[in-house]
Structure 1
């Protein structure tokens, strides 16, 4: 995504998407989450854990985009606290010109190890400083890097990663956007970003990176990571995280691709070589075909077994996914195989393309997920300047497999507000109808499998098969809103399995399949 300009000549970041792709705010919808601050979008979090002053470890820093020319707002939550406190606006320390300001696409990162002269624990802020023309329209960009050696209390300028120019609305602009920082094992610092500086070569926008050997003071040559030829597609908004096997994972959006905004993942052994730039990578999608779209983040969480869980959040979705982008997509097999949806802790309102324009996710010490994103204001949903930053927490449990995400045979997805994820699957009577859940078990052991279901007025029961073998049904109990839950018990070996669910006699609705370690509660551990 790149910024654009409001008709009122007030520039704020604007993604290149058609208005038809936006989910309208429904009258009966209400946001879920606590308002933290007024903010357009682009929240980013970092929890400090490498500070020389031990009392600063556990401090959480938050930055985001706010309308205006005051700089990047920085909030802090002190260790053991739940409330946020505004501390400062980080401002452009280079351009002594009121038309310039550090404004857009902030990225916070704490060095886990030294990088050049910067010691471990240094907090970095990469962000886009923009310069306006005489009419107040963005005409220049400068991806700047700042450092803090006192846990985010004060900041000093380090360098410019790359500069860009041209009005975002111009066809031949040379904009640069969306810095994302990561330090390699050898201490070299990498800055990933989006670039529109290769249009003449046939790339509308591409993803690239530069490497610094001296802690971000100077930068090497540009290396291209994702570049789709043809002059149309716009891969953008790269976010990089580390996997437990040592590899790196990158998420990005493919704007104006075959499926507009589809989120893809690419993998790298060293964080530098991402394979053929023309290869889009691995699409994130469910068995049923739902896919997250636009403004994604990827986050690896140390929950759910040895390989942990990968989570992707995005602004919206296609293929039958929630168009309002209120679901998280998760995968417990290092990105291999299908993805599954679960409701995001924050349930944002849509209405403008900055609602959900990036999101932030943090595993907390109590095992819950802290989620932040931007939401439109109910009274002015189309005005991004009125957006708010919402926060909410929820248990970090990834053991519920939504029925609408499974492979369907004679089954259809239906919206239902009483469903776990606002949807359900209606499955035809046997022998025609069935759902197949491609499930990855992280370890051997007994499992408790729960199926939430409803009949359609005729007596039936869910029937369950694991890898073709029937599993005897257990007890059934009533649940709220007319649903029932039937429990099955069976062992699962580590690895991949196909779990099929159908009806015993008549059609039925299925909400989800939940798989618990039998008799063991799921416990999440915080990231190190």
Structure 2
């Protein structure tokens, strides 16, 4: 499928382009464009697409959106009830408290247990709210839905920064929230530029009730001021009882993907660095902006698992076993376009485990930055 025409969309309605091949429901496919930004969209048009399967096995996708304002920017949500073949407008995550809009890096998460007065199965959405001029403050926000993502209500501010919300030294900015649950707490990892001793570091905050949050705690911090680890994702390796934190780390030789292993997601600061270094590959060629998940191995009966890593500079995903050896990463070509911080999710399609991709745009030519998805067999 290729781009044909850019169709006009708004936050309330969007025509899905049917000029290309539409996947057959509940089948495998790749590179299916499901949403075009408006012709007058600004900046990168779309970035940071994130998928989630709801308890009823329907699929939703949200993303970082760049329409002209007003109205305030939000994180739209599309839904599919036929295995990702076709999509319709479903809901949105709107700024209900700041008057700024929900602007950057949405993240979707299904609460696996009750926390506070939020039952298991609550759909959580986090993202970054800031003014359109990127000055005057920034919040990482938490919203929750108890009606299967049809509506979201504001729950709490996870973290606050004074801004400006820019990628530059001295900006008291916040970026890229990632949610997980550990020991009856919701843990939010994020990229943190508020510490005057560091251009950027990785931090986390915790909450046992989703309404009040701890102060930030260092997860990854380097001594050199200019170092900027960012884009955290965390996965649990069930067979070894270890957690893996992946992040981008950029230096003089470009951006590499680093990771740390720990028996607790709260102790990554004590773990050593590893760099994703597939055999025969220059690590910087992976291009940074990683996304990592773990799943039980589809072809093994011994309970072993599989790490799956998306790297921004490659269409392939990279696979590893539960030991997560730095040189054991191997490419798997699944035929899905690369994208900036491409989202991954393990889903069920008619009882069979599949790998879903959620693509926003790239930080190149914004004219072809649409939302695309693909669903394939879990690669091995």
SS at match of 1:131: coil
- Tell me what 1:176 maps to: 174
Aligned residues: 329
Match among 154, 158, 173 for residue 157 of structure 1: 154
Match among 60, 72, 75 for residue 72 of structure 1: 75
1:362–1:371 Cα contact (<8 Å) kept: no
2:221–2:269 Cα contact (<8 Å) kept: no
Going from structure 1 to structure 2, the CA distance change for 1:169 and 1:120 (only over 3 Å counts) comes to closer
Q: Would you say 1:285 and 2:285 are equivalent positions?
A: no
In the alignment, the residues of structure 2 paired with residue 81 and residue 72 of structure 1 have an alpha-carbon distance, to the nearest angstrom, of 19
Q: Would you say 1:387 and 2:369 are equivalent positions?
A: yes
Summarize the alignment of residues 222-237 of structure 1 with structure 2, pairs less than 5 Å apart.
222-237=216-231
In the alignment, the residues of structure 2 paired with residue 342 and residue 247 of structure 1 have an alpha-carbon distance, to the nearest angstrom, of 24
Q: Would you say 1:341 and 2:336 are equivalent positions?
A: no
Summarize the alignment of residues 89-488 of structure 1 with structure 2, pairs less than 5 Å apart.
89-95=92-98, 97=99, 100-132=100-132, 136-167=133-164, 168=166, 171-184=169-182, 186-198=183-195, 200-201=196-197, 203-214=198-209, 216-245=210-239, 246-256=241-251, 259-276=253-270, 279=272, 281-291=273-283, 292-303=286-297, 304-305=299-300, 306-316=303-313, 325-336=314-325, 337-348=327-338, 355-365=339-349, 366-375=352-361, 382-384=364-366, 386-398=368-380
Going from structure 1 to structure 2, the CA distance change for 1:334 and 1:44 (only over 3 Å counts) comes to farther
How far off is 1:81 after superposition? 6.2
Structure 2: state its 5+ residue gaps. Answer: 1-29, 37-44
- Tell me what 1:87 maps to: 90
- Tell me what 1:43 maps to: 49
The root-mean-square deviation of aligned C-alpha atoms, in Å, is: 2.2
Going from structure 1 to structure 2, the CA distance change for 1:116 and 1:345 (only over 3 Å counts) comes to farther
How far off is 1:48 after superposition? 2.5
- Which protein has greater RCO, CA pairs closer than 8 Å, 6+ apart? 2
SS at match of 2:281: coil
Structure 1: state its 5+ residue gaps. Answer: 1-31, 50-56, 317-324, 349-354, 399-528
In the alignment, the residues of structure 2 paired with residue 170 and residue 309 of structure 1 have an alpha-carbon distance, to the nearest angstrom, of 36
Going from structure 1 to structure 2, the CA distance change for 1:81 and 1:341 (only over 3 Å counts) comes to closer
How far off is 1:139 after superposition? 4.6
Q: Would you say 1:63 and 2:62 are equivalent positions?
A: yes
In the alignment, the residues of structure 2 paired with residue 385 and residue 173 of structure 1 have an alpha-carbon distance, to the nearest angstrom, of 29
Output one character per residue of 1:196-226: Cα deviation in whole Å (capped at 9) or x when no partner: 111x32x210001011021x10001211010
Going from structure 1 to structure 2, the CA distance change for 1:211 and 1:386 (only over 3 Å counts) comes to same
1:60–1:76 Cα contact (<8 Å) kept: yes
1:368–1:394 Cα contact (<8 Å) kept: yes
How far off is 1:251 after superposition? 0.9
Summarize the alignment of residues 506-517 of structure 1 with structure 2, pairs less than 5 Å apart.
none
In the alignment, the residues of structure 2 paired with residue 94 and residue 125 of structure 1 have an alpha-carbon distance, to the nearest angstrom, of 15
Going from structure 1 to structure 2, the CA distance change for 1:345 and 1:289 (only over 3 Å counts) comes to closer
2:105–2:177 Cα contact (<8 Å) kept: yes
How far off is 1:94 after superposition? 0.4
Going from structure 1 to structure 2, the CA distance change for 1:271 and 1:36 (only over 3 Å counts) comes to same
How far off is 1:385 after superposition? 6.0
How far off is 1:310 after superposition? 0.3
2:202–2:229 Cα contact (<8 Å) kept: yes
- Tell me what 1:428 maps to: none
Q: Which has the larger radius of gyration?
A: 1
In the superposition, the TM-score normalised over structure 1's length comes to 0.59
In the alignment, the residues of structure 2 paired with residue 139 and residue 294 of structure 1 have an alpha-carbon distance, to the nearest angstrom, of 29
In the alignment, the residues of structure 1 paired with residue 33 and residue 288 of structure 2 have an alpha-carbon distance, to the nearest angstrom, of 23
SS at match of 1:234: coil
Summarize the alignment of residues 500-511 of structure 1 with structure 2, pairs less than 5 Å apart.
none
1:166–1:172 Cα contact (<8 Å) kept: no
Going from structure 1 to structure 2, the CA distance change for 1:191 and 1:81 (only over 3 Å counts) comes to closer
In the alignment, the residues of structure 1 paired with residue 205 and residue 367 of structure 2 have an alpha-carbon distance, to the nearest angstrom, of 33
1:345–1:394 Cα contact (<8 Å) kept: no
SS at match of 2:137: strand
Say which is worse superposed, 240-249 or 174-183, in terms of deviation.
Answer: 240-249
